[in-house]
Amino acid sequence: MTGSQQLRESLLQTDEEFRRLAAQHRDLDSRLGELSRQLYRTGQEEREKAVLKKRKLQLKDRMEEILRRHSAPAAVPALESPVRG
């Protein structure tokens, strides 16, 4: 398992927002799969598919932000130089 996969698994266990986003992403993926398997879609279903794709991408982007935030090295505080006077 790569470090990225380990971080993702860890966040699924510890980060409520990440877990919620992942569940929503999975649900949208499932619905999009259903729509894609249909031979014929109504205009309403085509619009739904477009909206779901956009929302799924927004969720993925937010999840990636969380992953980046947790994978970035902790900021090292700057050392204060002594004041000479």
Q: Which alpha helices (H) appear in the chain, and where do they start and end?
A: 3-14, 16-37, 43-71
Distances (CA, A) of 6 to 42, 60, 61, 67: 41, 17, 19, 11
**CA-to-CA distance for 20 and 30, rounded, in angstroms?**
15
- Give 18-74 pLDDT, tens digit per residue: 999 999 999 999 999 999 999 999 999 999 999 999 999 999 999 999 999 998 765
Delimit the domains of the chain by residue range. 3-69
**CA-to-CA distance for 20 and 23, rounded, in angstroms?**
5
> Which pLDDT belongs to residue 81?
53
> Which pLDDT belongs to residue 80?
55
> Can you tell me whether residue 83 is helix, strand or coil?
coil
- pTM of the model as a whole: 0.78
Residues 15-20 have a mean pLDDT of 96
